[in-house]
Amino acid sequence: MINTRIIERTPSAYAYPLTLKHLLHTPILYAPEQQIVYRNLMRHSYRDFYGRIHRLASALSSLGIKPGDTVAVLDWDSHRYLECFFAVPMMGVTLHTVNVRFSPEQILFTMKHAEDKVVLVHEDFLDIIEKIGVNLKSVQAYILLRDGDGAWSSTLPIAGEYEEILSNAHDAFDFPEFHEDTQATLFHTTGTTGMPKGVYYSHSQLVLHTLACAVALGSFTAQGRFQSGDVYMPITPMFHVHAWGLPYVATLIGAKQVYPGRFD
């Protein structure tokens, strides 16, 4: 006779789903004052980065963004993009990383496919979005991304400039719990037949990829090593498969990050 018994989970036990918000625990604990740099324009700590993630989520929530929606980004490699990598999926919202090298027709196709609700757009891409914006029926608001000061104007329904919106947003957003298989990001393929094809990643896929890369890159002293004392600067576009996932790895290990913005 086989003796079996039921093991009950204690009420306080936490299943610890593989969601992106858990990648932030390590840098906040071990490297809160480590720096994240954007060109010669922005320099702040991981502690500040954590607060900015909360502010961005609060701002998007105030614009009506809720779990199940999609938020698009058209930007160069920047601290803003890194903040979107975390804040948007952590809301239970899908982050659509728009390929800015597509033709305007392809950008329109992918954004219609994604059904983006809010779009964060760098001023360098305003002309493109202004031309196709009339056909983006799902978009309710735009957030302007800028690297300089001075006056600006647009025909788009822009809710405000990114830094101004963050400065007025609440710094304590209550990120929800959800299943680790929830869709986190969306991008579109290039070099394939026909129009670009949509590809999505779940939270668990991104977390497992991050952990696997961290182990692979940190376990050996040979070429390709990446550890917390190193400095990470992406050359791979962040719209391209999350810059190969290295921004997530760099954040997990609390490395210094330097984002170049637009470069030739």
Is pTM, for the whole model, over 0.95?
no
pLDDT at 13 > cutoff 60: yes
Average pLDDT of span 75-87: 98
pLDDT at 1 > cutoff 60: no
Residue 21 lies in a domain: no
Q: CA torsion 206→122→38→199, rounded to 10°?
A: 10
What are the pLDDT digits (tens) for 166-177?
Answer: 999 999 999 999
Provide the pLDDT for residue 191.
Answer: 72
pLDDT at 2 > cutoff 70: no
Average pLDDT of span 236-243: 95
Residue 6 lies in a domain: no
Residue 189 lies in a domain: yes
The residue range of the domain holding 176 is 46-218
What are the pLDDT digits (tens) for 184-226?
Answer: 999 999 877 889 999 999 999 999 999 999 999 999 887 789 9
Q: Are strands 256-259 and 158-161 parallel, antiparallel or unpaired?
A: unpaired
| Assigned token pair, 46 | 């991981």
| Assigned token pair, 144 | 């302007």
CATH code, 185: 3.40.50.12780
Provide the pLDDT for residue 172.
Answer: 95
Residue 197 lies in a domain: yes
pLDDT at 3 > cutoff 80: no
Question: How far apart are the C-alpha atoms of 129 and 133, rounded to whole Å?
Answer: 5
The total number of structural domains in the chain stands at 1
Residue 146 lies in a domain: yes
What are the pLDDT digits (tens) for 150-161?
Answer: 888 899 999 999
Residue 83 lies in a domain: yes
Q: What burial class does residue 56 get, using C-beta atoms within 10 Å of its C-beta: 0-12 exposed, 13-18 middle, 19+ buried?
A: buried
Residue 79 lies in a domain: yes
Provide the pLDDT for residue 216.
Answer: 93
Q: Which of 27-36, 98-107, 134-143, 218-227 has the lowest mean pLDDT?
A: 218-227
pLDDT at 51 > cutoff 90: yes
Q: Where are the beta strands (DSSP E) in the chain?
A: 35-38, 42-45, 70-74, 94-97, 118-122, 141-145, 158-161, 183-188, 198-202, 231-232, 256-259
Provide the pLDDT for residue 149.
Answer: 84
| CA dihedral sign of residues 175, 140, 156, 263 | positive
Residue 132 lies in a domain: yes
The answer to whether 44 touches 36, Cβ cutoff 8 Å, is yes
pLDDT at 6 > cutoff 70: no
Provide the pLDDT for residue 263.
Answer: 82
Average pLDDT of span 142-165: 92
| Assigned token pair, 203 | 């939270």
What are the pLDDT digits (tens) for 38-48?
Answer: 999 999 999 99
